[in-house]
Amino acid sequence: MTKSLLGQPPAAALSTLLLGLLLSACGTQTQTMPTPDPAPPKPHLGAAPPLVVDWYSPSGMTFGKGYSSLSGELEGTCVKGTVEQKSIGTLSANYDIKIVSSTQELASSLGITAEASVGFGLFSASAKSSYLQSQASNSYSVYVIVHSEIVGPSIVLSNAHIMKSDEDPSGQDNYADFINNYLNFYSKCGDKFLAAATTGATYCGIIRLDTASASEKTELENELKMKYGSASGSVDVKQAVSQISSQYNVHINEFYDGVIPTKFATDYQTLLDNSTNFPALFTTQCSGQAVSSSQLVCLKSANFQDYQTLALEKANTSVLDQARSNALQLTNSAIGYQNKLNDALTAQLNPYLFTDSQASIGSMVGVSGQLLATAKGALKQCARDVRDCLATAAVNPPLTDPGALPSPHQIDLGKPTTCLDYKTRYMAFGDVQKNHPLQDANYRLYVGNQTARAATIWCADMASAAPQEYISLVQPNISRTRFGTPANTSTTLWSKIKLNPVTLTISPFDFRYALVTSGNSQSPFGYTSDSPSDGTKFNDDVVANADLRGTNFQFPNSLYVWQAFQPGAMGGRISRPSTQQIDMVAPHNGMTAFSVNSTSQYSGRFLTNGVGIVHVDVWQQNGRPPARF
């Protein structure tokens, strides 16, 4: 289900990215489908390309069923053939991610027809079509699409042929009409027929992130593509979803083809669970199923072929071709109006994100809505009679170019460097913004002073005069100590680290977002010790870690290790699995920490380097000079 922007705090709307989480593309337009007739189509006969769409099961969807590409509706059955039953075995799933930022890309990725994206035709009643007609599909968001696909055997209408009078229940010679009276044939049969279907299933999770300006949207899209655009496989995708959802305020939607879920996700954790369990869901519902013409189950896509692939003579389709061309123009206009309407509705629901007056936004809603209704009315007129679609003059008054219509103007916060700077810029836009105060949330700041880079920063205390900056940690970060008599082990789990966004120093003793999960003592960030008061040596190690994976930060190329030893101390080590990870083991009767140099105190400095990555230098405690590694 889509979560509306209505009623959300400005922070959520300002710093969220449209996730439409599509993995690869959720659609199947690019999928190769088998030819329904054993003999390949003859190109010289001018057959139109097949239409391959995600499976949708309205009443009457059967093999040989006609389809009108003009109306987008099912028509009569004029083709006969045989369908061999296929059994579905155990199949595997593939996973990938796609990042899109336009409503056109989103519609294509969802795998529905153009007319359905504006609520017209066969697939207009689907959940995907409804999503594209809502303000969730707009120009101000970035969509991360998590896609998983299971592909099984194809079901093909073999020995397909256009029925003549001796086979048609009504006694009509459909083949003769196809050659000699095409419009009569089309009115009954349409211009395509259901020729094949592919068994399997498709999962599509959309993570939507809303942005506060065009520049932020471009930066965010590029950053996401660089980090996650090549993610594939269930493990990569799961990590990407976890990191994105931890760093941004997201909106979740899900779509399935071929299987029925037990629960639709409204949060990222459920989305992770559903995407992970998708193969098992398919196995439960579909493995061992027999698919035939009378039992159309567990199907992921449908293939509609042009009737011309079944004929040895060329039908005169010129009238339909012209009508389709005009209908395409109407459809494109309708899509443009739908996009404009969605954008205006987004502004109407979230006035604090835009500079336009409510009256101006209301006018945009009214104009684009009226033009959309006019375009859809003209399309319905075309669908009723192909001859009504031959002249564009049938649309009266002429339709306005969607590109010429005004769009709402987002507020542009520029490049705020601190949470207070972000808040000040936001409030400066006027009373509308002041009446919608910012909430504590993740925001996009430009940290590092003169070497500033964009980073996602948690802003706390946004209702105060002195907001505070923190780095939101995605992975577990643990500091741990063992001390006292008898020895007691205390564990501190960190969810955020205090940051100075100008000097880029951190505060390892800021425990606001640190939770003591065992014991009764807090341990600073990046620290571990094992110092029982009676000198007892235990067989187990006291370990800690610092892990910046999933954030915009990483550790510098070289660090200093500082270890403090008590009499009889032994062991202890530090390692770096990656530039964003440090693992520590305390020496028995000692402690371990790490820093950037031999003179730094309990603070560190972050150095920017590269697009979207900030290097972090961490702290060292006073004491014995550290060793470099």
Domain check: are 300 and 391 in the same one? no
Domain match, 620 and 595 both? yes
**Are 353 and 490 contained in the same domain?**
no
Q: Which residue has the tokens 């059994």?
A: 87
Q: How many domains does the chain have?
A: 3
- The kind and range of the H/E element at 149 are strand 141-162
* 264 & 280 share domain: yes
Give a yes or no: residue 98 inside a domain. yes
pLDDT of residue 47: 80
Tell me the sheet residues that pair with 292. Answer: 295
Could you tell me the strand order of the sheet in which 614-616 lies?
553-554, 614-616, 606-608
How high is the pLDDT of residue 250?
86
Shared domain for 219 and 253, answered yes or no, is: yes
| Contact yes or no for 608/452 (Cβ under 8 A) | yes
Alpha-carbon distance of 604 to 252, in angstroms, equals 37
DSSP class of residue 45 equals: G
DSSP state of 410: B
Would you give the DSSP letter of residue 286?
A: H
| Claim to verify: residue 262 and residue 326 sit in the same structural domain | no
Residue 552: per-residue pLDDT = 82
Residue 441 lies in a domain: no
In a domain, 2, yes or no: no
Of 278, 310, 342, which residue constitutes the final position of a domain? 310
Question: Residue 143: inside a domain, yes or no?
Answer: yes
Please check whether residues 485 and 606 belong to one and the same domain: yes
Same domain, 226 and 330: no
Does residue 410 fall inside a structural domain?
no
Q: Rounded to two decimals, what is the model's pTM? A: 0.77
Last residue of a domain, one of 382, 404, 426: 404
Q: In this structure, is residue 623 part of a structural domain?
A: yes
Shared-domain flag, residues 144 and 223: yes
Task: Give me the count of residues in the chain.
Answer: 629
Are 560 and 623 found together in one domain? yes
Q: Is residue 60 part of a domain?
A: yes
Tell me how far apart the alpha carbons of residues 187 and 385 are, in angstroms, rounded to a whole number: 8
Residue ending a domain, choose from 310, 332, 361: 310
Report the 10 Å Cβ neighbour count for 436: 19
In-domain check, residue 261: yes
pLDDT along the chain (629 residues), means of 10: 34 30 37 38 63 77 91 91 91 91 85 73 74 86 93 94 94 94 94 94 92 85 86 83 82 91 89 92 92 87 94 88 86 91 94 94 97 89 80 67 94 93 95 93 85 86 97 92 84 93 81 94 87 77 89 73 69 84 86 55 36 38 33
User: What burial class does residue 471 get, using C-beta atoms within 10 Å of its C-beta: 0-12 exposed, 13-18 middle, 19+ buried?
Assistant: buried
Whether 296 and 388 map to the same domain: the answer is no
Q: Which amino acid is at 419?
A: C
Are 267 and 375 within one domain?
Answer: no
Domain that holds residue 352: 318-404
Residue closest to 140 by CA, chosen among 290, 5, 9, 275? 5
Max alpha carbon distance in the chain (Å)? 103
Q: If we measure between CA atoms, which residue out of 374, 431, 347, 405 comes closest to residue 120?
A: 374
